[in-house]
Structures are given as structure tokens and as C-alpha cells.
Amino acid sequence: MSAVAEVLSTVAPNRAPRCSELPACPVCADSMIAAEGSAYLSEHVISYLWTCDNCGYGFVTKHSVKQRLVCN
């Protein structure tokens, strides 16, 4: 019996916009991957709670979200 496998590239053609927005801990400079939590402050503003796994320092960031136009 034969098998067929597809090999997918691990290199993204374009970097995801959020990749450059991930913070580093301001105390120990450890990179942070995922926020502890998030909350909508308004229709277009999201707040993220970050806690450093290395030193335990915590902080909050706020991000504005652009509204996407939907074409029919």
C-alpha cells in the first residue's frame, strides 16, 4: 500500500502583523508570547494583561483595532 504526504513550508510568506507587537518584559527583557487575559474596553480598543514567566512582573497594554470593510 502506498502513502502520499504533503510537505508544507514552515516559512510564512509574510510575517503576521502581530509578530512585531509582542512585548518583552521591561524588568528582565524576557520575550512574552501570550497574554494572561484580554478585555474589550470599547468597540475598537482591547486591553491585554501580561505576566512575565521569568520574573513575575505584570503590566497591561491597550490596542486599537481597525474596523474592516466587508465587500459583498
* Residues 21-50: tens digit of each pLDDT: 678 898 999 988 899 999 998 888 899 999
Asked whether the CA dihedral 63, 31, 59, 34 is positive or negative, the reply is positive
Domain layout of the chain by residue ranges: 21-64
Q: Which residues contact 6 (CB under 8 A, 6 or more apart)?
A: none
Instruction: Output the pLDDT for position 14.
Output: 55
**Does pTM surpass 0.95?**
no
CB-based contact 19:37 (threshold 8 Å): no
CB burial of residue 13 (10 Å; 0-12, 13-18, 19+)? exposed
